[in-house]
Amino acid sequence: MNTPLKERFRPSSLAEIVGQPCIRQLRELAARPRPCCLLLEGETGTGKSTAAHALANDLGCDAGWLQSCHTVCGADLTAETVRHYFGPESPFRFAAPGKGFHVLIVEELEYLNPTVAVLLKDALERIVSQRKLIVVATSNDSSKITSKALRHRFQIFFMESGEGFAAAVNDRLPIIWGGSMGADVPMPVGWQSWGWDGEAFSARLAIDTLERYVHGMSEVCV
């Protein structure tokens, strides 16, 4: 099965991410890491998850159990898993020789259970400053996070979805198209509007639309 274009062309480092001014600050963090909690907030398709994983990659983190990068969805985070991540049996090996910073990515923080939100806030207050750990959360709308105290534990970075982001992504779309269809095949008329959903621009929507055109044209040519 072919890998979707949005996965094949997903940036793997912060240097590859375009159109988001806050990425500069994340690059500075990758260059001089410190224990902290970050919240990437923005519309769907603005690169929140991509930026979180790119930061982990730039820090040299390995994904997987007993490794230095873990990802969990807020809706799936339970009291038991909070205690596991931050308790004595944590999969993070902070004391292991040669280990650098660890990254915990919490996707869609606004879907966290209110009780679990309190436990997570307490754990972050106790643990993060004492260990080489960076917690990166994502949220479409941080105002929906049930615990204000938890929200205040995070430094918020806003991911833009407007004209500047659209222009940066649209600079990349012809490259993706050419790599899929060949340089001699012109892009369909109106391709610059592929990623717009109302007033917000989504890189995910733009690339998904491009892929539908690629598949449709490929089927016609067969």
95 burial type by CB count under 10 A (0-12 exposed, 13-18 middle, 19+ buried): exposed
What are the residue ranges of helices labelled H in 1-131?
A: 5-8, 23-31, 48-58, 79-86, 114-127
Positions of E strands within the chain: 36-42, 69-73, 102-107, 133-139, 155-159, 196-197, 200-201
pLDDT at 222: 42
The predicted-structure confidence for 207-222, as pLDDT tens digits, reads as follows 999 999 998 876 544 4
Give domain 7-159's CATH number out of 3.40.50.2000, 2.60.40.1930, 3.40.50.300, 3.30.70.260: 3.40.50.300
Domain boundaries, the chain: 7-159, 162-221
pLDDT at 220: 47
pLDDT at 38: 97
Tokens of 220: 């016609």
By DSSP bridging, strand 102-107 and strand 196-197 are: unpaired
| Spans of the chain, pLDDT less than 50 | 65-66, 220-222
| SS3 state at 166 | helix
pLDDT at 44: 95
pLDDT at 98: 58
